[in-house]
Chains A and B, each alone.
Chain A
Amino acid sequence: MTKGLTKINLVALTFGFAFLYVPILILVFFSFNESRLVNVWGGFSVKWYGELFQNEDLLQAAWISLLLAAAASTLSVILGTVAGFVMARFTSFRGRTLFSGMIYAPLVMPEVITGLSLLLLFVSIDWGRGLGTMIIAHTSFCMSYVAVVVQSRLVSFDRSIEEAAQDLGATPFKTFFVITLPVIAPALVSGWLLSFTLSLDNVVITSFTSGPGWDTLPVKIFSAVKLGVKPEINALSTIMIAIVAIGVVTASIVQKRAMVERQRAERMAAAAND
């Protein structure tokens, strides 16, 4: 029994990681390229980063993307929590299977169809396309993810703490806000983050539902690339990768710290009990 790497494991691991990360590394590498040509190395430079921050157009798109992602994920958390709550708590009402199926459907629905149908809806009710329609469109697919996260959290939720709150004098309404919500808050946060990332990189549905002047960053990148990849885009992508990486690493460090702290406290309690 060996826990170290055998040769075959090492090869498999290398290929696996290479497959995942070589394209990204190449992108990052060329974002520091002096040359305008993407695939020819012309020396180290950060000039594309500088140009990026001169590019009003891209900055505007980035701002729209963040605004849209924040609004859509907040709305998704509210609606998704309600939907997840109903699915977890009301387990036997007429049409429940249909209802839960309809909540999951957007997860597997081709984005082209979702986008097209939303476009048709907005056109038919004559709603001018802009940030509002994009928020609605993004919420419509993000809330399904939140609903799934919240539902699975509530399934393992100890209902007796809600009963205890009511027993001590809190109305069911108040119990939801002072007991249930704080306890499931981590699920809401992760649902929000998930929605945020999904919204941030969505291209297809966004293209269908955005109006002129409301291009998001991914849409901008997508259309820019059609005219040839500029090193600026590489720089922009590198920044996005950095933001996501920092976010993920921070979240996992925070979680790990909380776990270690908790274990320490439990050991202390166990020792006090002896």
Chain B
Amino acid sequence: MNTASAARVPFEPWNDPKAKPYIRIVNVTKTFGDFVAVDNMNLDIYQREFFSLLGPSGCGKTTLLRMLAGFERPTSGRIELDGVDMSTVPPYERPVNMMFQSYALFPHMTVEENIAFGLRQDGVPKEERNRRVEEMLTLVQLTKFGKRKPHQLSGGQRQRVALARSLVKKPKMLLLDEPLGALDKKLREQTQFELMNIQEQVGITFVIVTHDQEEAMTVSSRIAVMNHGRIAQVATPTEIYEYPNSRYVAEFIGDVNVFEGRLSDVAPDHVVITSAEAGTQVYVDRGTSAALGATVWVAVRPEKLDVSLTAPEQPDFNCVKGTVWDIGYLGNLTIYHVRLADGKKVTAAVANRTRLRDRPITWNDEVYLSWAADSAVVLVS
């Protein structure tokens, strides 16, 4: 196969009706006493995906991951991996490995022994074991540290040992539980890219649990946003950010301004919402499933807003007027908190593309916030 042309084909097996899901979560429910941790969940994950389970703590994402690993049994439903029902297979017989949040390195073993542990359990002969351990140490750039004990390593090095240990058996699926949670911000960002490169190199399906939306956006092929044991939305990072399907998803991923309104015009290619809260009519160039007159919400991301001291050309649509209440200068961006006439606060983020502005907007200035017809999203729930 020609790799150059293959690279141009987007990796989107979820859009291919012929593609067979690699991991199927079918009607899975998990309860602990009265608490429903995972509620009748259905999810398909494809081979070689980097799939994120994203949600606040207590949303059931870790429980789902532990069910995939085999540490928890579903109360009902089934989990299939590569066509085989895994529901009753114990963790030590699953072709699945996990990287733990605490790394869970064996403290009494050296780095090499830690990595070799899984191969030892499978009775891999010594020469092959050594070769594969060496291979893994090279992959995670720890060749010089093989003889050290975990407590002699820094946090970042431990994280890489944990990754090597969980990859050495070449599992069909690698589960990662908040893999970068213990690292500081700079190291975390760097490690995200390393993780993506390693995933591409080894070609293993990764399922990662995280509460960090930036991390999920960076590494994932697709993200499942979870809420109270249910999936709120499954989509690519771009879709999740640009076209969230509910207020929950819109507000969980990034910052967003939401205006309540009523559908006053519905057409297949556009809708118009009259919003008393925003004090304007909103024109959106996408259709919606809601009926005329229904109550809907319009979501606009702060960076999609244009801040101006003068009224735009079409002040009747997609434009609100308010007073600058607060300014946050972040260096690359400036955040404006603008108060509308009825007291509602709207956030706008403006990229600081030049150092000096003709006239910097300052506190108590009257400003117009406007956005394009393709920038807002209509949410029905």
* Chain A interface (Cβ < 8 Å from any Cβ of B): 158, 160-161, 163-172, 174, 179, 182-183, 262, 265-266, 268-270, 272-273
Which A residues are CB-close (under 8 A) to B107? Answer: 161, 183
B77 contacts the other chain (CB 8 A): no
Q: Say how far B288's CB is from chain A's closest CB, in angstroms.
A: 45
- Of the candidates A163, A266, A273, the one whose C-beta lies within 8 Å of that of B71 is A163
Residue of B nearest to A262 (CB): B151
Is B154 a contact of A169 with CB atoms below 8 Å? no
- Contact sample, A vs B, 12 pairs, CB 8 Å cutoff: A160-B104, A163-B71, A167-B69, A167-B91, A168-B117, A168-B121, A169-B93, A169-B121, A170-B117, A171-B92, A182-B108, A270-B154
Expressed in whole angstroms, the Cα–Cα distance for A164 and B100 within the complex equals 8
On whether the beta carbons of A167 and B154 are closer than 8 Å, the reply is no
Cβ contact within 8 Å between A169 and B104: no
Considering the chains assembled together, what is the distance between the CA atoms of A273 and B107 in angstroms? 20
Contacts A163-B91, A170-B121; A265 near B69 (Cβ below 8 A): no
Return chain B residues, CB-CB under 8 Å to A270: 154
9 A-B pairs with least C-beta separation: A169-B121, A168-B118, A273-B154, A164-B104, A265-B152, A160-B104, A161-B104, A166-B91, A182-B108
Given contacts A163-B71, A168-B97, A266-B152, 19 further A-B contacts (CB under 8 A): A160-B100, A163-B100, A164-B104, A164-B106, A166-B71, A166-B90, A166-B92, A167-B70, A168-B92, A168-B118, A168-B121, A168-B165, A169-B121, A169-B169, A174-B121, A265-B149, A269-B148, A269-B154, A273-B157
- Asked if B152 contacts A268 (CB within 8 A), the reply is yes
Report the minimal beta-carbon distance from A185 to chain B, rounded to whole angstroms: 8
Contact A158 B102 (CB under 8 A): yes
CB-nearest residue of chain A to B116: A168
Q: Which residue of chain B lies nearest to A185 when distances are taken between CB atoms in the complex?
A: B108
Which residues of the partner chain A approach B151 to less than 8 Å between Cβ atoms?
262, 265-266
B residues at A contact (CB < 8 Å)? 69-71, 90-93, 96-98, 100-102, 104-108, 117-118, 121-122, 148-149, 151-157, 165-166, 169
Please, which residues of chain B bring their CB within 8 A of the CB of A170? 92, 117, 121
* Alpha-carbon distance A168/B174, docked complex (angstroms): 12
Q: A161-B106, A269-B157 are in contact. Are A169 and B152 (CB under 8 A)?
A: no
Enumerate chain B residues within 8 angstroms of A266, measured Cβ to Cβ. Answer: 151-152
Residue in A163, A169, A174, A269 whose beta carbon sits within 8 Å of that of B153 in the complex? A269
Inter-chain CA distance A262–B151, complex, in Å, is 7
Residues of A within 8 A of B153 (CB): 269
**Cα of A162 to Cα of B107 in the assembled complex, Å:** 12
Bound CA–CA A158/B151 (angstroms): 15
Most buried by A among B91, B107, B157: B91
CA distance A179 to B154 in the complex (A): 22
Q: By the criterion CB–CB under 8 Å, are A164 and B152 in contact?
A: no
Q: Is the CB of B100 within 8 A of A169?
A: no
In the complex, the chain A residue whose C-beta lies closest to that of B149 is A265
* B97: chain A residues within 8 A (beta carbon): 167-168
Alpha-carbon gap, A266 to B153, bound state (A): 7
Contact in complex: B154, A272 (CB < 8 Å): yes
Please measure, in the bound complex, the distance between the C-alpha atom of A229 and the C-alpha atom of B157, giving whole angstroms: 64
Collect the chain B residues with CB atoms within 8 Å of residue A182's CB.
Answer: 108
| CB <8 Å contact, B98 and A164 | yes
B188 vs chain A, min Cβ distance (A): 14
Tell me how far the C-beta of A169 lies from the nearest C-beta in chain B, rounded to whole angstroms.
Answer: 3
Kindly list chain A residues whose C-beta atoms are within 8 Å of the C-beta of B102: 158, 160
Residue from A160, A170, A266 having most chain B Cβ neighbours under 10 A: A160
**Residues from chain B with Cβ under 8 Å of A163 in the complex:** 69, 71, 91, 98, 100, 104
How far is the CB of B98 from the nearest CB of chain A, in Å?
A: 5
Min CB gap A117→B, angstroms: 41
- Tell me the bound Cα distance from A260 to B104 in angstroms: 24
CB distance from B106 to the nearest CB of A (A): 6
Among residues of A, the one whose C-beta sits closest to the C-beta of B177 is: A160
Task: Name B106's contact: one of A165, A167, A265 (CB within 8 Å).
Answer: A165
What separation, in Å, do the CA atoms of A268 and B122 have in the docked complex? Answer: 34
Q: Which A residues are in CB contact (< 8 Å) with B100? A: 160, 163-164
Q: Provide the bound-state CA to CA distance between A160 and B71, in Å.
A: 11
Q: How far is the CB of A173 from chain B (nearest CB, A)?
A: 10
| Bound: A234/B117 CA distance, A | 55
Report whether B92 and A169 are in contact in the complex, using a CB–CB cutoff of 8 Å.
yes
Complex contacts, A268 vs chain B, CB 8 Å: 152
Of B104, B108, B117, B155, which one neighbours A158 at CB under 8 angstroms?
A: B104
Residue contact B105 to A161, C-beta cutoff 8 Å:
yes
For the complex, give the distance between the alpha carbons of A273 and B91 in Å: 34
Q: How far is the CB of A218 from chain B (nearest CB, A)?
A: 37
Q: Shortest distance in angstroms between B327's beta carbon and chain A's nearest beta carbon? A: 37
A232 to chain B, nearest CB (A): 46
Query: How close is A153's CB to chain B, nearest CB, in angstroms?
Result: 13
User: A203 vs B69: C-alpha distance in the bound complex, in angstroms?
Assistant: 54
Residues of B contacting A174 with CB < 8 Å? Answer: 121
Task: Give Cα A272 to B39, complex, Å.
Answer: 46
Chain B residues near A168 (CB, 8 Å)? 92, 97, 117-118, 121, 165-166, 169
A172 to B104, CA, bound (A): 16
A270 to B158, CA, bound (A): 12
Q: In the complex, which of the residues B93, B108, B149, B169 has the most CB atoms of chain A within 10 Å of its own CB atom? A: B108
Please report the C-alpha to C-alpha distance between residue A266 and residue B121 in the assembled complex, in whole angstroms: 30
> Which residues of B lie under 8 Å from residue A164 when comparing CB positions?
98, 100, 104-106, 165
